[in-house]
A and B are shown apart, each in its own frame.
Chain A
């Protein structure tokens, strides 16, 4: 390997806070918000929190360079993360670098996708990850800085500069930070990571290249059947990327909706099967021009409908949020996967 960008340590003039922010923006390091200065000491504390993690990283697209632990830690520091968050950030990054996630495609696309990051397991509580009211929103340092750190890594190491190599037509607020935890404590079903084969005591980060959450409001339905009608028709959107770029999607069920499904005997498999059958787009909702374009690229209707995924296995169900009659649909980029990675806790001596 050879160094591809200056040096790992930069000797710069002494800067006060205001001058530092200006300098960082001039370097192209910022997402537009102020950054914490990545001093050698603060980066060393971050790196120490991953003590014993000696697994390498694949090159990060689109720039295709291999990060060092220090350059990753510098981005985590700049994002405002605590050192204790760093192993979780690294697990999220490893998921994003899995080939099935298709980082290069999801960075270069004109679609508005961003890395969705969901955390399961005991670290949610230990780190203070919000899994309840306003879990997709502001107010929690762990959610905000873990999601932001991953975005800054993609910007600064990966080279995903907006308008240059990040070609998104409109972008998304999810590109600042999109991190939440599953509300395992109120979930009537097995936690997401356990359903994927991890142990309950594992802490796991799940990533998907997705849009910001779309709200599913249903205050009136008091049965699983009624809720499914609302869920299916909210999800079946003719403007979804996955109309022609078939791929996964997430449904994050709010706890009150989850309780209704559970009371009526609907488990996760039932939800997925019903969504597969019902969340389909009637052809009359799709323009003739689009139908012709889809057909030309091999995407043909199923009867009178177009599906938005390949089958029930593409439909991923999690539970998060607080009181209220809302759930969320998170469409994906399409050419991506839902990737779950166990967090490596630091070994003794870190």
Chain B
């Protein structure tokens, strides 16, 4: 029997993932991207402390979107993409 797939969808044009270059996890700059939820900064501070045990931390920086419920502005994402090679996101509360 044939049915219509209720999960079917099309990937929008231009949504391909960038795969340019390799990431150097020990030396590349990292942005710790906060979601503005309570305790997001504390979570990311903990991540930075853990990273300190395995890599340099002088090029690890924090930014945060200005609303917990709204997406980060595109300009903020583009700026972060230009400046950093790795982004770690705070998803918790």
Q: Which residues of A contact B (CB under 8 A)?
A: 1-15, 27, 29, 37-40, 43, 59-60, 63-68, 70-71, 73-75, 77-78, 102, 104-106, 109-110, 152, 156-157, 159, 245, 293, 297, 333-336
Question: Cα distance A9–B15 when bound, in Å?
Answer: 24
Residue of chain B at shortest CB distance from A241: B69
Residue of chain A at shortest CB distance from B39: A293
Q: List 11 A-B contacts (CB under 8 A).
A: A3-B11, A4-B11, A8-B5, A12-B1, A40-B3, A60-B9, A63-B9, A65-B10, A66-B11, A68-B9, A77-B4
CB pair A39 B1 closer than 8 Å: yes
CB pair B69 A9 closer than 8 Å: no
Residue of chain A at shortest CB distance from B16: A2
CB pair A293 B4 closer than 8 Å: no
**Cβ proximity bits B53-73 to A, threshold 8 Å, 1 near / 0 not:** 000000000000001111100
Q: Report B35-93 residues with CB < 8 Å from chain A CB.
A: 36, 38, 67-71, 93
A245 surroundings in chain B (CB, below 8 A): 67-69
Q: Which residues of B contact A (CB under 8 A)?
A: 1-13, 15, 36, 38, 67-71, 93
Residue of chain B at shortest CB distance from A209: B69
CB pair B8 A40 closer than 8 Å: no
A153 CB to closest chain B CB (Å) equals: 8
Q: Given A38-B4, A104-B71, list of 18 further CB < 8 A pairs?
A: A1-B12, A1-B13, A4-B11, A5-B5, A6-B5, A9-B4, A12-B3, A63-B9, A66-B10, A66-B11, A67-B9, A77-B4, A109-B69, A245-B67, A297-B68, A334-B69, A335-B68, A335-B69
A8 surroundings in chain B (CB, below 8 A): 4-5, 8
Contact of B71 among A63, A105, A336 (CB under 8 A): A105
CB pair A13 B1 closer than 8 Å: yes
Question: Cα distance A43–B4 when bound, in Å?
Answer: 7
CB pair A11 B2 closer than 8 Å: yes
CB pair A157 B8 closer than 8 Å: yes
A157 surroundings in chain B (CB, below 8 A): 6-9
Q: Which 4 A-B pairs have the closest CB atoms?
A: A65-B9, A335-B69, A74-B4, A1-B10
CB pair A156 B7 closer than 8 Å: yes
A7 surroundings in chain B (CB, below 8 A): 5, 8
B38 surroundings in chain A (CB, below 8 A): 293, 297
A300 CB to closest chain B CB (Å) equals: 15
CB pair A64 B8 closer than 8 Å: no
A10 surroundings in chain B (CB, below 8 A): 2-5
Residue of chain B at shortest CB distance from A167: B91
CB pair B2 A2 closer than 8 Å: no
CB pair B3 A74 closer than 8 Å: yes
A156 surroundings in chain B (CB, below 8 A): 6-7
CB pair B36 A297 closer than 8 Å: yes
Contact of A71 among B4, B12, B71 (CB under 8 A): B4
